[in-house]
Amino acid sequence: MHKTIMLALLLACGAAQAADWVQANKSSDGKYEYLVDKSSIRIEGGKKRAWLKTVPSPHTDRGPAPGIYANKWVSYSLALYLFDCAKESTRMASFVIYFDDGTNLGAPAGGSWESTAPDSAMRPVQEFICAWQVK
């Protein structure tokens, strides 16, 4: 009985932390899908933050060259972005590329704030995040 209760509690905690991915944009050529994890949207220091997933069509992107990743196909990438909605700018805080062979590569992040161009793929994503009401 105690094991059943413990298992139920563990499953409930895991479900509460599950990602909730929704499409926020798709590239005009249809090769890239941009998703936002709604469950990760937070407000920190007056700015919003959220995890974004970029999913290319299969066999569209290879890893960075030169090196061992250059011949690997990208399955998707995850990035933690910060959004300054008032200034319409973003900053990447974390970035990882996942390959179709199961490996991954963390890439440098933490750059400066950048204005979001009106016609960029990031603009609809930023508008989605900034309009989101954090619960």
Q: For residue 7, is pLDDT > 80?
A: no
Within 10 angstroms of residue 126's Cβ, the number of other Cβ atoms is: 22
Residue 44 belongs to domain spanning = 19-131
In a domain, 97, yes or no: yes
> What pLDDT was estimated at residue 17?
61
Residue 79 lies in a domain: yes
Are 19 and 51 within 8 A, CB to CB?
yes
What average pLDDT does the chain have? 87
| Cα–Cα distance measured from residue 97 to residue 116, given in angstroms and rounded to the nearest whole number | 22
Give the confidence band of 107 by pLDDT, cuts at 50, 70, 90. Answer: confident
Q: What is the pTM of this model?
A: 0.81
Average pLDDT over residues 30-59: 96
Q: Residue 89 domain-assigned?
A: yes
Q: Does a structural domain hold residue 108?
A: yes
Give me the mean pLDDT over the 104-126 stretch.
Answer: 90
Please check whether residue 34 lies inside any domain of the structure: yes
What CATH number did the domain enclosing 40 receive?
Answer: 2.40.128.710
23, 35 in Cβ contact below 8 A? yes
Query: What is the tally of structural domains in the chain?
Result: 1
The neighbouring-strand residues paired with 61 are none
